Chains A and B, each alone.
Chain A
Amino acid sequence: MLIHINPSTGVPIYCQIESQVKQAVAAGAFREGYALPSVRKLAAELRINPNTVARAYQELERSGVIRTVPGGGTFVADNVPGLLKSEKIRRLRPLVRQVAVEGTQLRLTSPEILGLVAEELEKLGGRR
């Protein structure tokens, strides 16, 4: 499993797990049907409280990224349900705003900031 967490940032650990799983799914590292480790196993592996892992899995299940088969494990969902475009944009906007603000404060130009975003997209695309 390629999840790592940093306990000393201001990001809740369950969010870190959630976003890394989403990222891995988006990048094609976790394909449909991929079996995620059990809550207990991932908690032991990361040395964190099982409740934290359970919460991350709940959030992921709620957003349709994974599905839990009672007594059978947790899997990457077959088809991550299509959100409405407007909802996708609504979710992404705050992150983009942050990139824009930070980038501007660091005195990067718009093309430089856009270039960075394009590079990151490229990296994801390369793995598909």
Chain B
Amino acid sequence: MNGLAISSDGLTKDYRKVRAVDDLSLGVPEGSVYGFLGRNGAGKTTTIKMLLGLTRPGTGSAQVLGLDILKGHLAILERTAYVSETKILFESMTTEELVRFNRGFFSRWSDEAASKYAALLEIPPRQRFGKLSRGNRTKVCLLLALAQKADLLILDEPTAGLDPVAVDEVLRILIEDHVSRGHAVFFSSHHLAEVERVADWVGILDHGRLLLEARLEDVRSQFRRITASGNGLPSKASPPVLAWSQSEQFWKYIVTRDSEQFATALREQGAAVVEVSPLNLQEIFLELVRKEAPCTSGSVGATHAGVV
């Protein structure tokens, strides 16, 4: 399966007149922790549902664990654990009952893991799901997913509503018990600091389109913000420029590689290069998806070629 846990090619989905996912080509390497980022309504949940066969794509194709999402979706569901964005389970069942109910569906279910996670995450065992706080509901969903001992975890906002201690514990469990066994985690999140720590790949989705897919180490070592002042500086978002903006005589570029060469080229055009600095994930995210960001290359292929 090309070393990819998830791959998609031109995945597109329309809801009536709205294009929720637009020509999406993802590549999630085996054993990676892939942070799938985007604003509310960017198309993350729709993508995840297509990958799991819970909704059909309009056009395009995808493989999960080497299985086609249309032909193999039952096998995919058996080998993949999923935490949904909504985190809805039977309201009247207690945690213990939910565990008993779920274990029968999964051939590799581990009772030992289930009780371990219930203890680690301090989940009340005998309260009805409907009476649990938002954070505790999330924990129950995670418990049910993790105890499946699946080959792949697909988690839609797995830390929503959790307190910082619980988030930390969840990350530790994911690394220790799942990623260390060579299995991938594909998760969406709005907590960029947490993504930055635990993920080794990121994809940024906006209006259904993948604006960036990159290895986080490359983002750290090669992505740079270049601020320059001058007149008539390049205003094109073509590689290695991922995004640019201008205010008065100041130009700001985000380049995905070769920042020194780019700065030199600017100087040769008579610009004064004020700063070449690294960016964190939050800054890159804001630059790419903020409404007033004037231009992004949107050219996923180019980003792939240059960075990935």
Binding site for B on A (CB under 8 A): 5, 7-15, 39-40, 43-45, 47-52
**B171, B217, B220, B223: which contacts A47 (Cβ < 8 A)?**
B171
Given contacts A44-B180, A49-B200, A50-B179, contact A8 B281 (CB under 8 A): yes
**A10, A15, A44, A48: which contacts B278 (Cβ < 8 A)?**
A10
Q: Would B217 and A40 count as touching, CB distance under 8 A?
A: no
**B217, B278, B281: which contacts A13 (Cβ < 8 A)?**
B217
In the A-B complex, list the 3 residue pairs whose CB atoms are closest, starting with the nearest: A10-B278, A8-B280, A44-B176
Q: Would A47 and B168 count as touching, CB distance under 8 A?
A: yes
Q: List 18 A-B contacts (CB under 8 A).
A: A7-B193, A8-B280, A8-B282, A10-B277, A12-B221, A15-B221, A43-B179, A47-B168, A47-B171, A47-B172, A47-B175, A48-B198, A48-B200, A49-B33, A49-B198, A49-B200, A51-B32, A52-B200
Interface of B is mostly: helix
Point out the residues of chain B lying under 8 angstroms from A5, CB to CB. 197
Residue on A nearest B220 in the bound complex, by CB? A12
A107 to B278 Cα, complex, angstroms = 23
Residue on A nearest B281 in the bound complex, by CB? A8
Q: Would A48 and B282 count as touching, CB distance under 8 A?
A: no
B152 to chain A, nearest CB (A): 15
Point out the residues of chain A lying under 8 angstroms from B282, CB to CB. 8
A48 to B196 Cα, complex, angstroms = 9
A45 to B277 Cα, complex, angstroms = 29
A10 to B197 Cα, complex, angstroms = 13
Knowing that A9-B220, A43-B180, A47-B171 touch, tell me 17 more A-B residue pairs with CB under 8 angstroms.
A8-B282, A9-B278, A9-B280, A10-B224, A11-B221, A11-B278, A13-B217, A40-B180, A43-B175, A44-B172, A44-B175, A47-B168, A47-B175, A47-B198, A48-B197, A48-B200, A52-B200
A54 to chain B, nearest CB (A): 10
Q: Would B193 and A8 count as touching, CB distance under 8 A?
A: yes
A116 to B220 Cα, complex, angstroms = 28
B27 contacts A by Cβ under 8 Å? no
Given contacts A8-B280, A13-B220, A44-B172, contact A50 B180 (CB under 8 A): yes
Q: Would B176 and A8 count as touching, CB distance under 8 A?
A: no
Residue on B nearest A14 in the bound complex, by CB? B217
Residue on B nearest A55 in the bound complex, by CB? B217
Given contacts A47-B168, A50-B175, contact A10 B199 (CB under 8 A): no
Give 1 or 0 for each of B257-290: 1 = CB within 8 Å of chain A CB. 0000000000000000000011111100000000
**B32, B175, B224, B279: which contacts A48 (Cβ < 8 A)?**
B175
Point out the residues of chain B lying under 8 angstroms from A39, CB to CB. 180
B31 contacts A by Cβ under 8 Å? yes
Q: Would A52 and B217 count as touching, CB distance under 8 A?
A: yes
Residue on B nearest A39 in the bound complex, by CB? B180
Q: Would A10 and B175 count as touching, CB distance under 8 A?
A: no
Point out the residues of chain A lying under 8 angstroms from B277, CB to CB. 10
